[in-house]
Amino acid sequence: DYELCEEWGHLYPVPREDLINLHREHLLHLLEMEDMEKALQLLQRIEDPGVCLAISEQSLDQHPNLAASHFLADYLTAHFYASLTAARRNEIQALYIGSKVLLTLPELSRVNYFHLSSRPLLMLEQLLMNMKVDWVAGAVQTLHQLLAGREIGFTVEDIDNLLSKYAEKALNFPFTLKEKRS
């Protein structure tokens, strides 16, 4: 049905908003079916870069599943980096990095942290508070690799400070040890 509507759009004038809505729904459908190749082909068929940008951004703002969010954040960063505002660039890159961090977690646990995918530093803190030290190790390694040369609102130093803060709390004893005297 989407392809038929797309053909119809080539034959008759369709208002820009309707065209954006059609392509957005088609793209979200393809991403939901996890057909990234057809999703990429759809985006490449769209001739107007402004329409393509609007479709990609609106699709991302609908908070699709993890794979779709990752795909859209990567696509927007690769193709429209210069067209985005600095704040939106940071938001999209944070989502991309957050989705990469989520992919390092065990599959069954990802759903518990998906709501933090656009805030990777907060996700890391949540993992620390939940005592998921092994997961934190993988997440930190991924973050260090991804942050090299990127500006997304936090740095490697922020990660190190967070880890130091929780390491200090782990060594904090609420009582004093008394010496036994004979």
Give the number of other CB atoms < 10 A from CB of residue 43: 19
Residue with tokens 């990234």: 36
Domain match, 99 and 70 both: no
Tens-digit pLDDT profile for residues 82-125: 999 988 988 998 899 999 999 899 999 999 999 998 899 999 99
Q: What is the DSSP letter of 176?
A: P
Domain match, 80 and 1 both: yes
Residue with tokens 């991403």: 31
Distances (CA, A) of 65 to 133, 161, 173: 25, 31, 42
Domain boundary among 84, 100, 115: 84
Rounded average pLDDT over 12-34: 91
Domain match, 10 and 60 both: yes
Tens-digit pLDDT profile for residues 33-83: 999 999 999 999 988 999 999 999 999 998 888 889 999 999 999 999 999
Task: Report the amino acid identity of residue 68.
Answer: A
Q: What is the pLDDT of residue 44?
A: 93
Residue 123 included in any domain: yes
Give the residue from 64, 21, 76, 23 showing the smallest Cα distance to 45: 23
Domain boundary among 84, 101, 129: 84
Domain match, 80 and 113 both: no
Alpha carbon distance 153, 130 (integer Å): 24
Domains identified in the chain, total number: 2
Task: Report the amino acid identity of residue 118.
Answer: S
Domain boundary among 44, 60, 84: 84
Residue 182: pLDDT over 60: no
Residue with tokens 């954040």: 73
Residue 176 included in any domain: no
Residue 136 and residue 128 in contact, taking contact as beta carbons nearer than 8 Å:
yes
Residue with tokens 């030290």: 133
Task: Tell me the backbone φ, ψ of residue 175, rounded to 5 degrees.
Answer: -135, 160
Alpha carbon distance 91, 86 (integer Å): 9
Give the residue from 51, 58, 123 showing the smallest Cα distance to 92: 58
Alpha carbon distance 20, 50 (integer Å): 10
Domain match, 20 and 48 both: yes
Question: Tokens standing for 147?
Answer: 């942050």
